[in-house]
Amino acid sequence: MTASTPLSLAANDGRPVRDIALADAPLAIRGMTVSYGEKPAVFSVDATFEAGKMTAIIGPNGAGKSTLLKAALGVVPRLSGEVSVYGAPLATARDRIAYVPQRASVDWDFPTTVIDVVLMGLYRKTGLLSRLTGAHKAKALECLDRVGMADFADRQIGQLSGGQQQRVFLSRALAQDADLYLLDEPFAGVDAATERAIIDVLAALKADGKAVVCVHHDLATVSSYFDNVFLINVRRIAEGPVTEAFTPENLHATYGGRLATSHIDQLDLVAGA
Ligand code: ADP
Ligand code: MG
């Protein structure tokens, strides 16, 4: 696979010019299909995630949101499709990506301290066998401080609340000094103060020109938190600026009967076309 593959794919099959211009986007996915069994979890999905933007990935349970991120990262294999990261193949751009998995998927009984979790984020740069210096520790503490968790550095990760654990994982992602941040439901099960702290950190990354992509379950905050939205239910339903793509029609197409019309009416949506 060459770096130009995603570009030529985008250019060859009649997609909008906007797509072609974004071929060196932080994350571009073309024609991606992922299957754990016979039925695909993600089918023939195209997605483009932009720099300096926060994008929400939304869709019902089992829609393939986590799978989309994992397959984009190469954590689960793709049946087909291309992934490019800043215009380069995934393999050469991996260290530009930080990933915060869904909290439920992490073994919190693993005996490790908060600062060690953050230091793990630095291993990729330093190498596992290199000696961690005082500078590394200082960097880890600074990243913990950015999420308000510096005082918890020596605590066992398993002893923290859900919101505190989520902050530590965000802190580890910060330690990686990545350009593209992929977060899987970072606000799930966290308290309001943690949600605010996380959104502030993500907003600072965005202001710095980074790309932030969150699987997000709370439709009520999509408009206030995010610039762009990507709607998925196995297939891509729609993507674009919240002001264009977050419509009642697209939500119905994504959630079907699972979302009551009365619920949709309460959301801060753009008027239907
Ligand atoms: P979401 O994050 O949108 O809730 P997932 O990507 O986790 O959805 O899952 C998509 C589909 O793939 C679901 O039907 C789920 O049951 C299935 N799935 C996810 N992970 C696995 C796995 N490791 N093995 C088998 N099936 C899986
Ligand atoms: Mg998920």
Is pTM beyond 0.85? Reply is yes
Check residue 11 and give its pLDDT.
41
Strands (E), 53-121: 54-58, 80-85, 88-89, 97-100
The minimum-distance atom of ligand 1 relative to the CA of 234 is 10
Distance 189 CA to ligand 2 centre (A): 13
Distance 67 CA to ligand 1 centre (A): 6
Check residue 9 and give its pLDDT.
41
Check residue 135 and give its pLDDT.
84
Residue 252 has pLDDT above 60, yes or no: yes
Residues 6 or more apart from 200 whose CB is under 8 A from it? none
Residue 273 confidence class, pLDDT cut points 50, 70, 90:
very low
Distance 62 CA to ligand 1 centre (A): 6
Q: What is the pLDDT of residues 106-123, one digit of tens each?
A: 777 778 899 999 998 887
C-alpha to C-alpha distance for 103 and 26, rounded to whole angstroms: 24
For residue 62 and ligand 1, the question of a CB distance below 6 A is answered with yes
Distance 68 CA to ligand 2 centre (A): 9
For residue 61 and ligand 1, the question of a CB distance below 6 A is answered with yes
Helix (H) or strand (E) holding 232: strand 228-233
For residue 67 and ligand 1, the question of a CB distance below 6 A is answered with yes
Residue 68 confidence class, pLDDT cut points 50, 70, 90:
very high
Nearest CA to ligand 1 atom 13: 62
C-alpha to C-alpha distance for 178 and 176, rounded to whole angstroms: 5
Q: What is the pLDDT of residues 154-205, one digit of tens each?
A: 999 999 998 999 999 999 999 999 999 999 999 998 999 999 999 999 999 9
* Paired tokens of 262: 């009365």
For residue 7 and ligand 1, the question of a CB distance below 6 A is answered with no
Check residue 127 and give its pLDDT.
62
